[in-house]
Amino acid sequence: MYPMVYVCAYIVGVPRSIEFAVDAAVLFLVTTLIVGLLQIVLRDRDTAPFIATFFLMWMFSYASARALVVGRTVFGIRIWSHTIAIPLWLAVLGLGLALIPFKIAARPNAVRSLNVFAVLLLLLPIGSGMWSQRHDAPQSLPSSGDQTPPHVVQSNPPDIYFFLMDAYGGEKEFRSLLGFDNTKFLGELVRRGFTASERSYSNYPATYLSLAATLNMDYLASAPVGAGQYKLLQSPQEIVESIRHNTVYRYLQSAGYKLVDLSIWDEIRGGGKCQEPLENPFLNSFSLELINMTVLGKPIAQNLLWGLRNSRLDPCRLDAVREAIVTNGPKLVYVHLMLTHVPYMFTDGGEFLPVWQIVSQVKINRALYFSQVNFANSQLLNAIDQILSSSPRPPIIVVEGDHGPALMDPDAEGIRLRQSILNAWYLPDAGGATTDIPSSPINTFRFLLSRYVGFQLDPLDDRHFAADLEGKPRTLVDVTERLRELHP
């Protein structure tokens, strides 16, 4: 029960009852099978439960143990890297099994001690969750409230299609840092009437941070903690909630827009389309996070199963975009595509990679990333062509990255790559000559809502923040001047 309570307390919240029941049954079956096999091998009914308990505790403690050493190095080696952490954790298993004195393990007191330890493990996430609710609340934050500012009613405002491409970097950085030429795709966009920026940067280096700022049209609340460093004042859960209930949606709904939400956040709360993959007992978030606690987390949960899940969700979202074209009335169609995010599943032509090549992606592979980008480009162009050919009036289409890929060490060039994003716009009145599109996502909807929907929203100064990308970053480093020095 410990891993299930841990996932509920720390990661996904309360799952659907059917998910909890199925996973509980599977864990019970696996535990029974392990105990039975050990009894057969050891021919000892007393020692087998002890060994099984030790093994399961070892198995489901990998993620927690790795989290304790994140950011630490030994002789310059990043010991939290899966390539180092997994062999080390296997060594811990071997050492533990070698040191277990079987005669002591057979004693009732030893088994009882492990049972007491298991109960303490069970109570830990429950107590920690209760403590967090009481003591980890955010500081008092400035709030714009739920008031929607007045706007000038526009006659027949355009539809807005917002494609968020996860981990899709910018052209200049692709070419200069990675040696990857993406100009053919950008040229195809320009040929269709887009304005494509060669150099744009994200305001934040992680999806949930970047998207919260984009959809709320403001920087995240933070407090200075040092020279150029800031600490976020909201928890990751609160930031995600600000995405689900964001300012852009409220403004557009007040202006008569319909919302077609095809985001990953909408899927999580169960209110979006494309639910079938999420209801699969092997692909729902609860099951994946259980596996992610173990040494199988990286190859099986993060690579294979998350990849299969995304490979089913992205085509569904693109189909939903095509269906939304005929929806009457002004609308915002927001689609979040994971095609360019790890794990990488496809060749340039869209064929699935061999399973071994998917599960073995411990380090990010540049060649596989480039193949994903090429495949994503073809899918985007197909969707854009259908929107342009089938829309009753010229729409707005924004194709934007949330951040760039993590293909380099987090030095100056690695930060520059991670902050770089794809940024391409189709505007109904542009005529292919627009030069004033925003250069960072913080002003994306400030620009659109002011120019096309009738709100008066001034642009914000561009600021860019880097962070430690292991886990959920809470401390940010302002790299605005660093990026300006590289490209004034």
What domains can be seen in the chain, in order of their start residue? 2-132 (no CATH), 160-486 (3.40.720.10)
Of 201-210, 319-328, 468-477, least confident by mean pLDDT is 468-477
**pLDDT exceeds 80 at position 155:** no
Which pLDDT band, with edges at 50, 70 and 90, does 123 fall under? low
The band of 62, judged by pLDDT with boundaries at 50, 70 and 90, is confident
C-beta of residue 335 within 8 angstroms of C-beta of residue 325? no
H helix or E strand, kind and range, residue 224: strand 222-226
pLDDT band at 381 (very low <50, low <70, confident <90, very high): very high
Whether residue 271 is predicted with pLDDT greater than 60 in this model: the reply is no
pLDDT of amino acid 190 = 94
- In the prediction, which pLDDT does 113 show? 65
144, pLDDT greater than 50:
no
The three state secondary structure string of 286-300 is HHHHHHHCCCCHHHH
Question: Within a 10 A sphere around the Cβ of 69, how many other Cβ atoms?
Answer: 15
Lowest mean pLDDT among 244-258, 427-441, 449-463: 427-441
- Using pLDDT thresholds of 50, 70 and 90, give the confidence band for residue 369: very high
Q: Tell me what percent of the chain is helix, strand and coil, each rounded to the nearest 5.
A: 50, 10, 35
- Asked whether residue 34 carries a pLDDT value surpassing 90, the answer given is no
Structure tokens at 148: 């929607």
Residue with the larger pLDDT of the pair 429 and 315: 315
Which of the two residues, 473 and 226, has the higher pLDDT score? 226
Average pLDDT over every residue of 160-176:
95
Residue 269 predicted with pLDDT over 50: no
Look at 38-52, 223-237, 357-371 and tell me which has the smallest mean pLDDT: 38-52
Q: Mean pLDDT score of the chain, rounded to an integer? A: 82
Identify the residue with better confidence: 67 or 4: 67
Q: What is the pTM of this model?
A: 0.86
Nearest to 381 by CA among 244, 235, 186: 186
pLDDT at 328 over 80: yes
Say which residue, 241 or 105, is predicted with more confidence: 241
Q: Which tokens is 468 given?
A: 């430690």
Asked if 207 contacts 403 with a C-beta cutoff of 8 angstroms, the reply is: yes
DSSP structure class, residue 420:
B
Q: Which pLDDT score is estimated for 385?
A: 97
Question: Given this model, what pLDDT does residue 463 score?
Answer: 96
Say what the pLDDT of residue 430 is: 64
**For residue 326, pLDDT beyond 80:** yes
Q: According to the model, what pLDDT value does residue 13 have? A: 53
